[in-house]
Structure 1
């Protein structure tokens, strides 16, 4: 997550493709949001929270 964020922040790319990562792990976006300390609950369907509850706040 941090590598993708750095690439975008530096302007080295307009988009980072992570399709294969999502095929391996459908919760990749939620994990990256947690790594970057972003609250993803506003943009995540409730069905995903039932299957994978958000991490407790640190």
Structure 2
């Protein structure tokens, strides 16, 4: 069974589509509470993690 996307995640995916972008999301059952946790989860440096995006 597939979990429904959070409305905010769905909104970002749709915004990307309207710009011709494909946005891929991942879920981590163990969580990624910090940027370092997120970096460790996907095997990149912490400087490669974006915590927040703001659209104007």
Common topology (TM > 0.5): no
Task: Calculate the TM-score normalised by the size of structure 2.
Answer: 0.22
TM-score normalized by the length of structure 1: 0.21
Compare relative contact order (CA 8 Å, sep 6+) and give the higher one, 1 or 2.
1
